[in-house]
Structure 1
Amino acid sequence: MKKRYGAFVLFVLLFVFWFILSFEFSLEVAIIGLLASLMVVFFNYDLVFNQQAITKLTIRTIIRFFVLIFILIYNIILSNIHVAKIVLSKKMPIDPGFVTIKQKLKKELNQSLYANAITLTPGTLTVDMNKDEIVVHGLLKKYVRDLEGSSLEKAFLDLEGVKNHD
């Protein structure tokens, strides 16, 4: 019963988010949002609501989530500045390539969210991942290597509840 309640809550949150992003209230927008929200919940039900991925919703977890969002936004802004400096430079000092970094997260949902967060930061793209490693293509390999032990990784580890980050 908890899974169904969780799925319903996720559906409602996605549906509300749909209206926030659409800036329009009409029957067509509501139907499309309803269908999109239902499909997201349906196709991600096993990923989000399996026993391993379930995290207790506590005040601490909510605070850690908002800290994670803040750190992600900070990293996106910082990466934008780095990429802009590279692109605007006459020499364009790039060192592109693939780098494999260790995956310290245990929960599948957190692993996929972390991989997507890496892709959201400009200059990096998650190409492949498994339970132990993430393969990332970066504009500068040094920046990709710096992801291990970064504030973003630590925020995801905190969200997962890992005590020792080493």
Structure 2
Amino acid sequence: MRVLAPSAGEIMALADVPDPVFAAEMVGAGLAITPGPEQQVAVAPIAGTVVKAMPHAYVVAGPDGAVLVHLGIDTVKLDGAGFEVLVAEKSEIAEGQECVRWTPGDIAAQGLSQLVLVCALDTPAGSVSAEHAGERVEQGAELFTI
């Protein structure tokens, strides 16, 4: 499964994120992205069906698996403030389709991490290479394959 970057930014290994569940890859293997502070729209990492569409996170299920995109860490506490969901649950979407509008700098200003976490759900820890950590990825470019 080819997974695209929902945001542009610097790639980070999940093991380095400040959240023990994501860092241990309990949700699934993947990578994180440090986005810029400006307002942006996170896009679909794969084509498929929107299984979950919450303000701070969304899950897209395709024929080869499901991918979670989590915008920031502990952003569930914001109860949707600062996020605009642009897709509906159960809708079919194309890879790269706009999903959630947000401003990472506003999240950081509230003392929360603005990292974008991208996890292939139910995959074994270590099944995504972090060899490109520290490099920049453009939105819509391949982030990893699994």
Q: Same fold (TM over 0.5)?
A: no
TM-score (norm 1): 0.26
The higher relative CO (CA closer than 8 Å, separation ≥ 6) is in: 2
Structure ID, larger Rg:
1
TM-score, length of structure 2 as denominator length: 0.29
Structure ranking higher in helix proportion:
1
